[in-house]
């Protein structure tokens, strides 16, 4: 597929474009998923402007498709864009049937091609939503599009990013006011995702739950405590967390252990994909009030972790490569915790995150503690100048990309560190 020349006005190039280029020739279906307002539709129309476009949130379109779902797919056998396809879950069964026919014809008779022709957009991760969506494993390539990163925006001011976040509408075109954008965003999300997709009617309680999650950014999840504070069953809290995760509002960072299986049974931390949304839920009115409200450390940590998470997604790297480390949980006498651990082919990258603009050498202590157990590359991310020290690198936030240099990121389930 030839890369387009960005004919759409005010289009900001996205870091995932090379990943789209690579995956466009792999499967008949390409699914581009991400939160509402992340720029999915604009990106799809940019790359696949030659294809007919169908908005599955439109009730007339829904009625048209449901008259004969598989017939509708066959009528668009040469390709089409199905935007917000999760509104018609039965479309996935028809797509599965037609995709299998395309793959068979190509494999057996060299007829046609397996290049992406059905382009799906969704604000809900159907991979984690349960059984009402047919599996499209082997038939669909998946692109996950998060809110924009600092490098995509060309914005390196941490306070501005903590307050505004990375939704394109706040940075391009008319540049919407966050005070107007986020209330409208939450209302739309609650009505179209929480009520219409998940059939949850107590939207006020769910918004309270979102605010509680924002207040617990960077904290270890405690379902029992959250359930008690909100007066909800523990099972409901677990289900609602999964909904927020499936709709790209939050993600989880699991604890790192040499025995990876322990990560699956220990409690993770939660972060928001977008710090602007978290800040709004916490009542932040302007960038200056972040420090006044005592939220700078919390939101700066979320900003750094989410930038790393979004970079992984944009590069097509595995989405669960962000961990943290807590020595106390491993039975150590020293209650050290490391904010972020990245697993790499040649060792580990350990990262402490501090909102201060003055470097404290003691920040390296927990990083050195883990270094006693296994080889690590040590970083401090903060708001001061980038310097190299005898203990590791201290990087200003604007130089965050340096942590990705040289070391390819892998999932430890697929390759042990000592097998290189």
The answer to whether 243 touches 198, Cβ cutoff 8 Å, is: yes
Among 400, 155, 152, 161, which Cα is nearest to 279's? 161
CATH superfamily of 17-144: P-loop containing nucleotide triphosphate hydrolases (3.40.50.300)
Q: What is the pLDDT of residue 327?
A: 66
pLDDT tens digits, one per residue of 323-364 = 888 765 455 555 678 999 988 655 689 999 999 999 999 999
Per-domain boundaries in the chain: 17-144, 150-419
Q: What is the pLDDT of residue 352?
A: 97
The answer to whether 10 touches 46, Cβ cutoff 8 Å, is: no
Average pLDDT of the residues of the chain: 86
Q: What percent of the chain has pLDDT over 70?
A: 86
pLDDT(418) > 60: no
Range scoring the smallest mean pLDDT among 156-160, 183-187, 199-203, 295-299? 156-160
CA distance 253 to 398: 23
Question: What is the DSSP annotation of 358-420?
Answer: S--GGGGHHHHHHHTTS-EEEEEEESS--EE-SS-EEEEGGGGGGGGSS--B--TTT--GGG-
Q: What average pLDDT does range 1-11 have in this prediction?
A: 53
pLDDT tens digits, one per residue of 271-282 = 999 999 999 999
Euclidean distance between the first and the last CA atom of the chain, given in angstroms as a whole number: 35
The answer to whether 405 touches 393, Cβ cutoff 8 Å, is: no
pLDDT(410) > 70: no
Burial of 291 (0-12, 13-18, 19+ CB in 10 A): middle
CA distance 68 to 116: 23
CA distance 67 to 71: 9
Q: What letter would DSSP give residue 220?
A: B
Strands 53-55, 347-353: pairing is unpaired
Range scoring the smallest mean pLDDT among 156-160, 256-260, 374-378, 379-383? 256-260
pLDDT top residue among 242 and 330: 242
Q: What is the pLDDT of residue 99?
A: 92
Write the CB contacts of 224 (distance below 8 Å, at least 6 apart in sequence): 234
pLDDT class for 131, splitting at 50, 70, 90? very low
CA-to-CA dists, residue 375 to 115, 295, 350, 416, angstroms: 42, 33, 10, 13
The answer to whether 371 touches 386, Cβ cutoff 8 Å, is: no
Question: What SS3 class is residue 340?
Answer: strand
């Amino acid at each position: 597929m030839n890369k387009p020349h960005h004919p759409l006005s005010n289009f900001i190039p996205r870091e995932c474009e090379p990943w789209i280029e690579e995956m466009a020739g792999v499967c008949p279906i390409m699914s581009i998923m991400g939160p509402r307002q992340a720029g999915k539709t604009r990106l799809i129309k940019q790359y696949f402007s030659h294809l007919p476009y169908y908005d599955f949130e439109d009730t007339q379109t829904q009625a048209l498709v449901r008259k004969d779902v598989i017939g509708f797919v066959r009528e668009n056998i040469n390709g089409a864009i199905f935007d917000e396809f999760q509104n018609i879950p039965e479309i996935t069964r028809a797509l599965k049937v037609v995709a299998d026919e395309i793959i068979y014809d190509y494999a057996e008779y060299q007829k046609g091609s397996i290049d992406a022709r059905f382009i799906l957009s969704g604000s809900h991760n159907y991979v984690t939503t349960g059984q009402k969506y047919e599996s499209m494993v082997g038939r669909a390539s998946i692109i996950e599009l998060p809110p924009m990163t600092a490098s995509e925006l060309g914005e390196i001011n941490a306070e501005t990013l903590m307050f505004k976040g990375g939704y394109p509408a706040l940075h391009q075109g008319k540049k919407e006011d966050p005070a107007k954008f986020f209330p409208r965003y939450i209302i739309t999300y609650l009505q179209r995702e929480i009520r219409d997709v998940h059939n949850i009617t107590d939207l006020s309680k769910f918004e309270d739950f979102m605010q509680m999650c924002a207040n617990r950014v960077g904290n270890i999840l405690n379902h029992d405590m959250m359930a008690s504070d909100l007066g909800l069953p523990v099972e409901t809290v677990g289900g609602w967390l999964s909904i927020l995760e499936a709709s790209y509002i939050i993600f989880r960072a699991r604890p790192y252990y040499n025995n990876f299986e322990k990560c699956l049974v220990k409690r993770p931390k939660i972060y928001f994909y977008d710090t602007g949304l978290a800040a709004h839920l916490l009542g932040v009115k302007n960038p200056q009030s972040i420090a006044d409200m005592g939220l700078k450390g919390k939101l700066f940590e979320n900003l750094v972790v989410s930038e790393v998470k979004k970079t992984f997604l944009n590069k097509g790297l595995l989405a669960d490569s962000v961990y943290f480390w807590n020595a106390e949980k491993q039975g150590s006498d020293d209650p050290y915790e490391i904010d972020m651990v990245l697993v790499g082919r040649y060792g580990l990258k350990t990262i402490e995150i501090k909102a201060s603009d003055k470097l404290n050498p003691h920040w390296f202590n927990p990083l050195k503690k883990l270094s006693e157990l296994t080889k690590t590359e040590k970083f401090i991310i903060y708001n001061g100048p980038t310097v190299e020290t005898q203990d590791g690198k201290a990087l200003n936030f604007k130089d965050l990309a340096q942590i990705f240099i040289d070391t390819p990121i892998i999932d430890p389930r697929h390759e042990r560190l000592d097998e290189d």
